[in-house]
Structure 1
């Protein structure tokens, strides 16, 4: 005989599993889009305070609907959010934790109708899947070793021109290693920025490399704690790549609209140096840019 608890549990499962119809989904999306337009239009008005309460009230109803009804709450993860956070949502996440290993991989999701930007989502998901599959193999091989992997993301820049997303992954198995990956999005052009897109020719590689070498020499001279692999280190097999730039090198554009070149941990320096970053003076590369004013703030 079923108890009251069993009956309530059955009701709860039925309630949560109720699917959201396509009409309901479309209605919610249209409502969010409509309220977003109204919200920003009223912000431009001098006396927007008179109307803010109404706009916020309607949005609050939509939000309350999204967080209180389970089927809609589940679907609401796909919805855009009013405000400057509209472009990055939480995507598929991977978790696997026990006494021997801890895996927490978070995947970002770019919310955009632009195909070039939306294609980043496929890359992010593929990277997360690949990372998880590699870790599963590592766990089987190293059954008695503790393995910890944390992968997350954050926005470094989000202004009128650029959106910069940083993806960070740290793997700990005896030693710890951190990897940083970046994507710089030009909001106005609707494109993912790459080094070849910025410069007229490959000469930028030489100029940027010279700038980095100057900064390295200055750092080493000013602090005994700074150390980068020397030619002797590399000849003896220490270090992995040395100071080598190419068209696919990791970089981003910072809040001051300056180019920042990033090296992965252990690539050009010992692990304690982390992931070395070098901010390139715009004046030194301005003449090489396809558009000399592209990096103007």
Structure 2
């Protein structure tokens, strides 16, 4: 969107009749954001509108309406459908909440928001992505409940009492974040996490060219030499982080250069390496917990400068 057209676009927006009601209901519900803050250590405001660059050209007055729209899109499918008819916000409504649930099932506290990607008629990839996301999140939820049931059984079999068990729950979290959406390029992050006797978090990424109905690859974005470009940048960033902070640790680097410490250390990216596009359209490589660094380091991300 051209900046000079932002004011005209804003002034032409017809606000849905139930906008205020939906926004008030969404803002009143804090459970989702509180759980997100618990699991996302790196950025407590990760769900902010700065992750939606499609709005960069809008004037300040329009931004207030768009902020309200963003909150609603991620909270209510009905609201998202309504807002899909509104200029500017309509593009974001291509990512809707498929299933949203907050509540308790047995000993599991659930906070679930599963996305669905809408594509143009005749496009096949969005349907495949949706099926994969639904399968991943369903499996994660089922496995979490099974693990909690086994843990509870073992707890009582080893002498635990009802009094000692009281208050023990698993916090299960499934949510998504639109990392980038511009010019029909969508970069979507799906997070699954749980906290009980230990905490873990996993992130899956979907980078889609909606117009051409194809999944984007690192080679598409960085060229044929993407492996060497990424490897060089990641190694440099690892060494920089170690040099700046003595508490930073990576397998096979710095103090962990011995044989044991190098097991599992970063070596190279490949076609299966996870990545997403950030708000500036830059490639961000993402490594799961424990994959290239100790667990306390969490998920490790590296921004790769465009060649």
User: Which stretch shifts more, 122-131 or 252-261?
Assistant: 252-261
The structure with the largest alpha-carbon Rg is 1
Partner SS, residue 288 of structure 2: coil
CA gap of 1:135–1:234, structure 2 versus 1, over 3 A, is: farther
Distance of aligned partners of 1:238 and 1:148 in 2 relative to their CA distance in 1, 3 Å threshold: farther
Distance 2:195 2:303 in 1: 29
Take 2:238 and 2:265, find their aligned partners in 1: how far apart are those partners?
A: 16
Describe how 1:118-157 pairs up with structure 2 within 5 A: 118-143=127-152, 144=155, 146-157=169-180
Identify the residue that residue 197 of structure 2 maps to in structure 1.
Answer: 174
**Alignment-derived partner of residue 215 in structure 2:** 192
1:59-78 to structure 2, matched below 5 A, reads: 60=17, 76=78
Pair 1:102 & 2:109 matched: yes
How much has 1:60 moved relative to structure 2? 3.8
RMSD of aligned alpha carbons: 3.7
Q: Counterpart of 1:266?
A: 290
TM-score, normalising length: structure 1: 0.63
Matched residues in 2 for 1:49 and 1:253: separation?
27
Shift of 1:215: 1.0
Render the CA deviation track for 1:67-94: whole Å, top value 9, x for unaligned. xxxxxxx994794622232211111346
State the structure with bigger RCO (CA 8 A, min sep 6), 1 or 2: 2
Query: Does the CA-based 8 Å contact 1:234-1:242 persist in structure 2?
Result: no
Query: SS at the partner of 1:177?
Result: strand
Q: CA deviation at 1:134?
A: 1.3
**Is 2:85 the counterpart of 1:112?**
no
- Match for residue 229 of structure 1? 251
Match of 1:158 in 2: 181
Runs of 4+ more than 6 Å apart: 43-50, 61-64
Write the distance in 1 (CA, Å) between the matches of 2:258 and 2:100: 38
Q: Which runs of 5+ in 1 are unaligned?
A: 1-39, 65-73, 284-297
Do 1:260 and 1:280's aligned partners in 2 also have CA atoms closer than 8 Å?
Answer: yes
